[in-house]
Structure 1
Amino acid sequence: MASNLFIAYDLMQPGQNYDAVRDKIRSLGKWYQFQYSLFYVHTDLSAAEAYAAVAAVTDGNDRLAVIDAKGGIVSDWDRPPIAEINAIWFSPQ
């Protein structure tokens, strides 16, 4: 069953391998980047599996949160890509 996950991270010094973390998150499934370090991912993985996959490319002092979302609302910022987000959210995996 597909999961709708929000993944957030803070990469602390030393290290801060942003490319590796973003690439790993993007590899998990269909994704949308809401903010610099906040992604939405539609994936076949559970929250725990996604956490383990992303944690594998972080440093021990980094912060990582993977949240399984059953529903949500986002603010109406300037031209939000609601159609694109909904296409990912409701797509079969």
Structure 2
Amino acid sequence: MSKIFLITYDLKEPGQDYSELYEAIKGLGDWQHPLESMWMVKVNDFVVAQNVYDSLRPQIDENDLLFIVDITDRNCQGWLSKTVWTWLN
């Protein structure tokens, strides 16, 4: 079984390069990027939010914001592309 984590962030410096953060997120597992500063990643069942945070923290600055939440139970609703909903389910 796998878990799904939602990752969202605000990088505070204008013009900040997101590429290293994007590559770190993609390296976590199967992913979707449905909104500009939001990703969803499928990871192994033993991974916890702290593991995800520890993997991403080196890619952000002290003044940036990062939030990671386990959405494995899929108790969510919204208006996203059909591809994303299929991936979630």
TM, length-normalised to structure 1: 0.78
Structure-2 residue corresponding to 1:25? 25
**For residues 72 and 29 of structure 1, do their structure 2 counterparts lie closer, same or farther at Cα, with a shift above 3 Å needed?**
same
- Following TM superposition, the consecutive aligned residue runs of length 4 or more in structure 1 with deviations greater than 3 angstroms are none
What is the alpha-carbon distance in structure 2 between the residues aligned to residue 33 and residue 74 of structure 1? 16
One-letter code of the match for 2:82?
P
CA distance in 1, matches of 2:54, 2:4: 16
For residue 19 of structure 1, report the CA deviation from its aligned partner.
Answer: 0.6
Shift of the alpha carbon at 1:84?
Answer: 3.2
> What is the RMSD computed on CA atoms of the aligned residues?
1.9
Deviation at 1:75, TM superposition (A): 2.4
Q: Is the 8 A contact 2:5 2:41 kept in 1?
A: yes
Helix, strand or coil for the counterpart of 1:42? strand
**Structure 2 regions of 5+ residues with no counterpart?**
none
Distance in 2, matches of 1:21 and 1:63, equals: 12
> Is 2:8 aligned against 1:16?
no
Structure 1 Cα separation of the partners of residues 3 and 88 of structure 2: 14
CA shift for structure 1 position 14: 6.0
Cα offsets for 1:35-78 (capped at 9, x unmatched): 0110010112211000111111111111000001122333245x
Answer whether contact 2:30 2:43 (CA < 8 A) is retained. Answer: yes
Number of matched pairs: 85
Unmatched segments (≥5 aa) in structure 1: 87-93
Q: TM-score, normalised by structure 2?
A: 0.81
